[in-house]
Structure 1
């Protein structure tokens, strides 16, 4: 009877112990547009931007929401935007986050990535190693899209504070955009000082066609260092208005 009881519980135990190595994650990205617009107010533009901000708050939703899909296998992943319809909400304020511009291919075997990014009117193809993020694991947990996730705090590009939630039930060390490097899939990311979050809304645990997980090919080729030189050049020419959105372009 004891043996029969143990055997009868094994299927349930196995179900809960299942680890996922390929599938599709749908991410929802939310940008706090009230905070973004308010940050753009300075001494030089305060007279008209304060009025603009008041009108924006009265007429527009606080959060702009865009979606992307992450298709992943054990050795690679591809993050692609889901096209959105241009509305007054996402055309009223010129923010690079608004049109969900990045396509990110990650090769976990070679620790490399290919990022297709549109900066103003130019499309770039950034080929480089996977972006390093310094992580510190915490004891905090939360459930995201049906998975129990653990919190990690991180620092990227020397100055951008990152809060992430990952699950080790998905064994791929990836996530939305270029976020990764944790012992499992990142299903939630928040950049508190950039006023933006990415959270998984759905995870499809299924076999995927690996031929679909391939790097983008269109764009002016460069590496991360070249991109920073290009962006800093724009900042020098365009001044404070460019500085405010610099982090949006390098994320």
Structure 2
């Protein structure tokens, strides 16, 4: 009798798990609204050193008195059939005066990704030039943790990584969205990335809303304008053009590669 009762309890528990799995909902297409947040005070302060503090520090103090600490930018990520299209909202692309040309402090990339084919097409605004970067999707060596967080109504799991040799990345992804990908060119996790933080760069991207609406084919059309190149060639071009500016441009080169 005891063995029969034990088997019955196990059967009921298994049936409950199967029922939950059968009723689980997975988003296959839709649009994600993201908000990028930049801590401008921290971003600017990092650039003050003994060689420039005489003129840079007063500018920084003036900025703190007249400008908000955080800049926010809107963007959307449309997804369907293993493809994603990341677009910044038009009103957030413009330069915002002092320090507005820092690529980490703005949002200048339009990015199409096909995760099934492992390719990406990125339209990048680099100062006054427009580049069309065609390459494979970036490989990121993620380490998935047990930590979870709710983002835009989805339970997400945390993953950590290092990209571009030195940038520490914290990401939160959900497997309830079947298309993989994320904001900008962040990808490579078993689900959609709804949150990204670069703690040492003072920048975050987090989803604020997910709409499960049909996605027209035209909304996933890759960008076509710009000087054709790939990641390696773009870095070489920028490094050559900016070589006379020394260490000052290193943060710019890093930001242009995100």
Please give the TM-score of this superposition, normalised by the length of structure 1.
Answer: 0.90
Provide the C-alpha distance between the structure 1 equivalents of 2:37 and 2:92, rounded to a whole number of angstroms.
16
Does the CA-based 8 Å contact 2:73-2:92 persist in structure 1?
no
Alignment of 1:170-185 (within 5 A): 170-185=177-192
Residue 233 in 1 paired to residue 225 in 2?
no
Which of 156, 161, 176 pairs up with 1:169?
176
Does the CA-based 8 Å contact 2:78-2:220 persist in structure 1?
yes
* Ranges in structure 2 where 5+ consecutive residues have no aligned partner: 1-15
**Change over 3 Å in CA distance of 1:91–1:110 after alignment to 2:** same
Does the CA-based 8 Å contact 2:121-2:222 persist in structure 1?
yes
Residue equivalent to 1:187: 194
Which of 209, 220, 234 pairs up with 1:213?
220
Residue 84 in 1 paired to residue 91 in 2?
yes
Does the CA-based 8 Å contact 1:132-1:156 persist in structure 2?
no
Deviations along 1:212-234, one digit per CA (max 9) or x if unpaired, are: 20110000001110011112223
CA RMSD of aligned residues (A): 2.1
Does the CA-based 8 Å contact 2:195-2:207 persist in structure 1?
yes
Residue equivalent to 1:56: 63
Alignment of 1:6-17 (within 5 A): 13=20, 17=24
Residue equivalent to 1:3: none
* Ranges in structure 1 where 5+ consecutive residues have no aligned partner: 1-8
**Change over 3 Å in CA distance of 1:63–1:81 after alignment to 2:** same
Which of 196, 204, 210 pairs up with 1:197?
204
- Residue 150 of structure 1 deviates from its aligned partner by 0.3
1:19 is paired with a residue whose SS is coil
Provide the C-alpha distance between the structure 1 equivalents of 2:75 and 2:94, rounded to a whole number of angstroms.
18
Which of 137, 150, 157 pairs up with 2:144?
137
Does the CA-based 8 Å contact 2:82-2:180 persist in structure 1?
no
Deviations along 1:44-92, one digit per CA (max 9) or x if unpaired, are: 111111111111111111111001110000221100110126889x322
Deviations along 1:179-199, one digit per CA (max 9) or x if unpaired, are: 010000000000111110000
Large movers: runs of 4+ above 3 Å: 12-16, 85-88
Which of 105, 116, 119 pairs up with 2:112?
105
Does the CA-based 8 Å contact 1:116-1:216 persist in structure 2?
yes
Please give the TM-score of this superposition, normalised by the length of structure 2.
Answer: 0.88
Deviations along 1:114-163, one digit per CA (max 9) or x if unpaired, are: 00001111100000000111100001000000000000001212221110
Residue equivalent to 1:248: 255
Does the CA-based 8 Å contact 2:93-2:108 persist in structure 1?
no
Question: Which stretch shifts more, 48-57 or 234-243?
Answer: 234-243
Q: Alignment length, in residue pairs?
A: 241
Which of 154, 157, 182 pairs up with 1:147?
154
Does the CA-based 8 Å contact 2:109-2:124 persist in structure 1?
yes
Provide the C-alpha distance between the structure 1 equivalents of 2:236 and 2:199, rounded to a whole number of angstroms.
26
